[in-house]
């Protein structure tokens, strides 16, 4: 009784705060999921530290988008999954989140720029090859855009000045990298009032930047031609400002900040660029390997269908148990309902995201939870047939039945745990609900079913075997096993065509009519099994 009260209290505790809503996965509420494979600039597998850093930056970007309940997780050794449930502008999210935002400043002189400008990527690579660079390096540069020594940079065509696309190869390392940035904001250029992005440098960055520009000023003065430097973002040249050597104000270089004013940036583009620069560059390159975009309607429909299927399933199981086990079935049904409440409460109480496979897992566990009752009840019925009183049958039946359930459930959970650890995304959610479901079902079997049976066994009306669907005629005083043995023996003797004497006591018809000698071919499978159960039900009702 104490146990039962505790159970009720526990379940109430879970259910009562209605404010806690179940976390729905994005397949149920709509949204965007992307799985990225991370690669370092030179194609090496990323380190754990790099992945963690990437996740931190992604987190900042996602929060900046205003998505709540987002989940960013490491997957395996080189993958990151980003789930954005309920995200409104999927396109914007896609544009922003995965951007490497690796900002680099290159000096634009022949020494730092071995190739360019040329018209195509192939030309750029060919020219670099002519300079004696190995084919392996060329191939890597072609595929990744970067190697340890070189960076392939494109300057997109500009419609306003009808300048075609241009390709360059710059020598790594760059004069300055995104690490030197302390902030970025969208604004407007003072010269032509077009949208631009203003970059603030850190103290060290500011110093380096000033040195670079001062050097460019001096070189320009010496050579008599203005020098430029290139601002490159993810291998795209955003702008190539010129240092005017005729302006003595630049003698000491440029201090303070820099400005990116790529051609025809729209206001939105400048804001997006400032946003990714501000959240920092990713230490790795993210290649989307899987992307799923679910609309809110589809998600809602899936959830409704899942719930309908679940409720129908639960209903059918309740009816089946009631028809087959009668009064015990009622106990089982109550236990099932308690189980349902507990499981739902658990899902509300802990931060588990419910996904579509998760719902399937939950529905399956309805069956598993009812199975536990079947095993226990069959055991109790068996004990009653053996001639035990109902009360002692309940005790020993429960104890023995539970042992079986334990083994079966541990195997189920073992497999589910393996799935959870080793399998990828979608099976994971399923495995988790399965584990939780089996645990809760065991808890219900231990706390609720046992307590109910214990309490009921105390009532006089409960001690009638008929209450659990056992006919009085089925109760034997002779052990069933002995009778079975005889039956089995008899079959043996028939097949062997012999006259073996029974040494194990008189053949008593076993509970299920085991004594019939049979030669009929079995049809096997559970289609036969299903029919069996219905017939047996009829037999018992009579």
- Does the footprint of another protein cover residue 485 (CB under 8 A)? yes
**For another protein, the closer CB: 8 or 406:** 406
Query: In degrees, to the nearest 5, what angle opens at C-alpha 263 toward C-alphas 259 and 268?
Result: 75
Which of 23, 61, 450, 484 is in the footprint of another protein by CB under 8 A?
484
Question: In the set 128, 175, 284, 359, which binds another protein (CB under 8 A)?
Answer: 359
DSSP state at residue 153: E
* Segment contacting another protein by CB under 8 A, of 123-131, 342-350, 446-454, 494-502: 494-502
Q: Helix 296-349 and helix 425-444: axis angle, to 10°?
A: 40
Q: Which of 223, 323, 516, 541 binds another protein (CB under 8 A)?
A: 516
* Residue 82, strand partner residues: 34, 72
CB 266, min distance to another protein, A: 15
CB of 446 to another protein, least distance (A): 18
CB 160, min distance to another protein, A: 21
Beta strands 353-354; 23-24: pairing state: parallel
**Is residue 415 near another protein by the rule CB under 8 A?**
yes
Determine which residue in the list 19, 48, 472, 535 makes contact with another protein, applying CB under 8 A. Answer: 535
Q: For residue 365, what are its two tokens? A: 């566990």
**Under rule CB under 8 A, how many of the chain's residues touch another protein?**
115
- Asked if 101 and 70 touch (Cβ cutoff 8 Å), the reply is no
Among 57, 231, 284, 487, binds another protein (CB under 8 A): 487
CB of 361 to another protein, least distance (A): 8
Q: Taking a C-beta distance cutoff of 8 angstroms, is the pair 507, 490 a contact? A: yes
Q: Which DSSP string corresponds to 60-98?
A: HHHHHTT-SS-EEEEETTTEEEEEEET-S-HHHHHHHHT
179-238 residues near another protein, rule: CB under 8 A: none
> Rule CB under 8 A: is residue 255 a binding residue for another protein?
no
158, 165, 378, 476: residue in contact with another protein (rule CB under 8 A): 378
Contact 23, 127 (CB under 8 A): no
> Phi and psi dihedrals of 231, rounded to 5?
-100, 115
| Of 106-114, 165-173, 198-206, 302-310: span binding another protein (CB under 8 A) | 302-310
Antiparallel, parallel or unpaired: β 227-233 and 242-243: antiparallel
What's the burial of 170, exposed, middle or buried (CB within 10 Å: 0-12/13-18/19+)?
A: buried
Q: Give least dist CB 365 to another protein, A.
A: 9
- Please write down the long-range contacts of 477-483, taking CB distance under 8 Å and 24 or more positions apart: 477/387, 478/505, 478/508, 479/386, 480/382, 480/385, 480/386, 480/510, 480/511, 482/508, 483/507, 483/508, 483/509, 483/510, 483/514, 483/515
Q: Which stretch binds another protein (CB under 8 A): 15-23, 138-146, 155-163, 418-426?
A: 418-426
Out of 60, 126, 251, 536, point to the residue binding another protein (CB under 8 A).
Answer: 536
Residue numbers 64-103 binding another protein by CB under 8 A: 76, 79, 91, 94-95
CB of 342 vs another protein, minimal distance in Å: 17
């Amino acid at each position: 009784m104490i146990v039962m009260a505790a159970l009720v209290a526990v379940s109430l505790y879970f259910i009562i705060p209605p404010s806690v809503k179940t976390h729905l996965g994005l397949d149920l509420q709509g949204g965007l999921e992307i799985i990225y494979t991370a690669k370092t600039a030179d194609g090496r597998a990323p380190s754990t530290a790099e992945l963690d850093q990437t996740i931190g930056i992604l987190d900042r970007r996602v929060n900046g988008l205003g998505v709540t309940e987002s989940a960013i997780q490491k997957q395996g050794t080189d993958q990151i999954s980003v789930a954005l449930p309920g995200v409104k502008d999927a396109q914007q999210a896609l544009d922003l989140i995965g951007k490497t935002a690796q900002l680099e400043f290159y000096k634009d002189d022949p020494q730092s720029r071995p190739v360019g400008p040329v018209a195509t990527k192939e030309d750029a690579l060919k020219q670099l090859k002519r300079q004696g660079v190995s084919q392996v390096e060329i191939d890597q540069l072609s595929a990744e855009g970067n190697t340890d020594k070189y960076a392939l940079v494109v300057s997109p065509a500009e419609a306003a000045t009808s300048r075609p696309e241009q390709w360059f190869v710059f020598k790594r390392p760059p004069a300055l990298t995104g690490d030197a940035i302390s902030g970025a904001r969208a604004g407007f250029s003072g010269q032509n009032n077009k949208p631009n992005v203003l970059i603030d440098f850190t103290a060290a960055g500011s110093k380096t930047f000033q040195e670079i520009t001062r050097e460019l000023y001096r070189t320009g003065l010496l050579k008599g031609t203005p020098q430029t430097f290139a601002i490159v973002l993810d291998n795209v040249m955003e702008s190539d400002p010129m240092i005017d050597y005729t302006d003595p104000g630049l003698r000491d270089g440029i201090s303070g900040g820099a400005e990116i004013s790529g051609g025809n940036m729209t206001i939105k583009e400048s804001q997006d660029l400032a946003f990714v620069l501000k959240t920092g560059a990713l230490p790795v390159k993210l290649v989307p390997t899987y992307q799923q975009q679910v609309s809110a309607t589809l998600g809602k429909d899936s959830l409704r269908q899942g719930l309908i299927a679940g409720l129908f399933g639960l209903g059918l199981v309740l009816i089946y148990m009631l028809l087959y086990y009668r009064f015990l079935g009622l106990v089982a049904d109550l236990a099932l309902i308690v189980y349902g409440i507990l499981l739902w409460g658990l899902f509300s109480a802990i931060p588990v995201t419910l996904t579509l496979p998760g719902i399937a897992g939950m529905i399956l566990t309805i069956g598993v939870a009812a199975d536990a009752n079947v095993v226990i009840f069959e055991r109790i019925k068996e004990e009653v047939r053996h001639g035990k009183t109902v009360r002692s049958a309940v005790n020993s039946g429960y104890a023995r039945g539970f042992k079986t359930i334990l083994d079966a459930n541990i195997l189920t959970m073992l497999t589910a745990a393996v799935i959870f650890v080793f399998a990828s995304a979608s099976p994971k959610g399923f495995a988790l609900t399965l584990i939780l479901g089996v645990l809760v079902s065991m808890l219900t079997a231990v706390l609720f079913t046992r307590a109910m049976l214990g309490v009921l066994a105390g009532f006089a009306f409960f001690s009638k075997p008929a209450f659990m669907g056992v006919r009085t005629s089925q109760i034997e005083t002779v052990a069933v096993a002995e009778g079975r043995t005889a039956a089995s023996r008899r079959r043996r003797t028939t097949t062997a065509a012999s006259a073996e004497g029974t040494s194990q006591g008189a053949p008593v018809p076993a509970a299920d009519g085991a004594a019939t000698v049979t030669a009929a071919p079995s049809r096997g499978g559970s289609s036969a099994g299903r029919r069996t159960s219905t017939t047996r039900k009829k037999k018992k009702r009579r």
